[in-house]
Amino acid sequence: MSTLFISDLHLDESRPQTIELALDLFSNFAGEFDTLYILGDFVEHWIGDDYCQPALQPVFDALGDLGCRDTAVKLMHGNRDFLIASAFAERYGIELITDDEIHIDLYGVPTLLMHGDTLCTDDVDYQKFRTQVRSPAWQREFLARPVCERLEIVASLRDRSQIAIAGKTGMIMDVNQNAVQRIMRKEHVSRLIHGHTHRPAQHQFEIDDEPATRRVLGEWKDSAVILVCTPTQCELVHWPKPAL
């Protein structure tokens, strides 16, 4: 019994090394697990299920093949790919998670899974933008536009995001510990797993005098930090595995 957690692949045709890394994981490693959770930002951008970058097709096919190897794939929305919808999920046999967080029983330990962006409450401007683009009205209007217009809008938003990030401190873009404890207390969990911040780590703290753990997954570039859980342990590991 084992479960694999990954996030923040940010797959894009401009990042061929990340595409190869994902193909390697899905073809040679992920099939060893009962369940694969992708906790958001699977792709760098998603403009609707009616458009796909051709360079990403092999990754999607490899992901779909995992079902034939008895690995259940569950995909959570991130801040880059929240427009992934049921057509894509059904095409590749993926369970789509549209909630901001889900509560699971991970080998007897109540565990909360999130992308993590809603925990960055100090970044007020981002939270306002998130509310805007997650509204059904904004999404309907955006998806009704031609593909070429949607691509232009995404490119513009990405440029604006890069400028905004350059002017923010690392602390503002990280999770707020009070927000972390608030959601964990509300959900009655002692373990939280998320991505988004690109700061892989294991954080140990207390909630109401009880031990708690927050594990953060890493961004994918030339390598990735992923989380492997079994009934006896959860361990952050590097992919590809370092040579001995």
Phi, psi of 82 (to 5 degrees): -70, -5
> How far apart, in whole angstroms, are the C-alpha atoms of residue 107 and residue 75?
20
pLDDT on residue 30: 87
| Domain annotation for the chain: domains and CATH numbers | 3-239 (3.60.21.10)
Name which residue leads in pLDDT, 37 or 67: 37
- At 20-41, the pLDDT tens digits run 999 999 999 988 999 999 999 9
Residue among 159, 135, 133, 150 at smallest CA distance from 49: 150
Q: State the pTM of this model.
A: 0.95
pLDDT on residue 68: 87
- At 142-162, the pLDDT tens digits run 999 999 999 999 999 888 888
- At 95-126, the pLDDT tens digits run 999 999 999 999 999 999 999 999 999 999 99
Average pLDDT of span 84-99 = 96
Residue among 82, 117, 114 at smallest CA distance from 187: 114
> How far apart, in whole angstroms, are the C-alpha atoms of residue 73 and residue 95?
6
pLDDT on residue 243: 53
Q: What angle do CA 94, 100, 105 make, to 5 degrees?
A: 70
Q: Which residues contact 50 (CB under 8 A, 6 or more apart)?
A: 87, 147
Which residue is associated with the tokens 């990754």? Answer: 59
Peptide bond into 240 cis (omega under 30): yes
